[in-house]
């Protein structure tokens, strides 16, 4: 993949913040013991099987530290690599590359971890027409990058922010009094910006019926059993979009997809994905 989720200024600001957090006023160790004119070459190596995501950020961060560095990206974003694979080679000023190492690896490991876990979920449901969705459960400041990594792994992006999707949840319904009243209020508002139409979270089939009758565009079937999901599919498939959610794991997603729902949203692909293991091996 080559579609950057960040504008140039956003990427510059993100890298600046990452380096300020990690480096501060300077890499004291490298400045103290590495000659200023010393050069080195290094390779990033995958220590486990993974899907690459965030290589463009890691490369740009290295370039920010050492504008003259020579970088050879071997594994671009979206590529699935095996343990032991070299994914990037770099040569440049030793002090500056050592300064860049940790932040570059942190970003690449985190985003590749999201892409790798996402790909595993996608594989479980690829024999169906169901699509995997991400959620807003992301580390603050990483929203665009985390959703990019999920997309790299094969998921569809759900709403990016609160301003691009109208999702009526239980707390909204509790405050206004009923699903019918909530949907009516939503319809009276300008919903043209909503990428998911009017979506209503439903905890049971009675709420699903209320939402469908009220004119919802999508039903978010939350924590329902597979039997309940199949019932909802039989009643509403083709009339409204059906999205299953709530505690979905790699062990359960296949059976959920096979109920016939259109989407399954999984928060853990961005919230709980473990970082993958990537090492920096110095060659000289």
Which residues are identified as catalytic?
Answer: 102, 137, 169, 201, 222
Cα gap 118→111, rounded to integer Å? 11
Burial, 231: exposed, middle or buried (Cβ in 10 Å; 0-12, 13-18, 19+)? middle
Burial, 84: exposed, middle or buried (Cβ in 10 Å; 0-12, 13-18, 19+)? exposed
The CA angle 222-224-229, to the nearest 5 degrees, is 110
């Amino acid at each position: 993949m080559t579609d950057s989720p960040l504008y140039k200024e956003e990427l510059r600001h993100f890298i600046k913040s990452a380096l300020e957090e990690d480096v501060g006023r300077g890499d004291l160790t490298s400045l103290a013991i590495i000659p200023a004119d010393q050069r080195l070459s290094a390779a990033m190596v995958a220590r486990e099987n993974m899907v690459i995501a965030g290589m463009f950020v890691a490369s740009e961060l290295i370039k920010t530290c050492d504008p003259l560095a020579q970088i050879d990206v071997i594994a671009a974003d979206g590529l699935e690599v095996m343990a032991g694979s070299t994914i990037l080679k770099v040569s440049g000023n030793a002090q500056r590359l050592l300064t860049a190492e940790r932040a570059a690896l942190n970003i690449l490991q985190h985003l590749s971890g999201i892409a790798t876990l996402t790909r595993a979920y996608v594989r479980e449901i690829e024999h169906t027409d169901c699509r995997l969705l991400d959620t807003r459960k992301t580390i603050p400041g990483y929203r665009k990058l985390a959703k990019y990594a999920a997309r790299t792994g094969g998921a569809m992006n759900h709403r990016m922010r609160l301003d691009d999707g109208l999702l009526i949840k239980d707390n909204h319904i509790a405050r206004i009094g009923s699903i019918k009243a909530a949907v009516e209020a939503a319809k009276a508002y300008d919903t043209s910006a909503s990428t998911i139409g009017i979506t209503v979270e439903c905890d049971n089939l009675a709420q699903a019926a209320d939402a469908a009758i009220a004119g919802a565009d999508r039903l978010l079937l939350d924590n329902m059993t597979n039997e309940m999901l199949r019932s909802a599919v039989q009643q509403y498939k083709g009339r409204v979009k059906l999205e299953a959610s709530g505690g979905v794991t790699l062990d359960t997603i296949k059976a959920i997809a096979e109920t016939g729902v259109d989407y399954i949203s999984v928060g853990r692909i961005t919230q709980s994905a473990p970082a993958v293991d990537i090492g920096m091996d110095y060659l000289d």
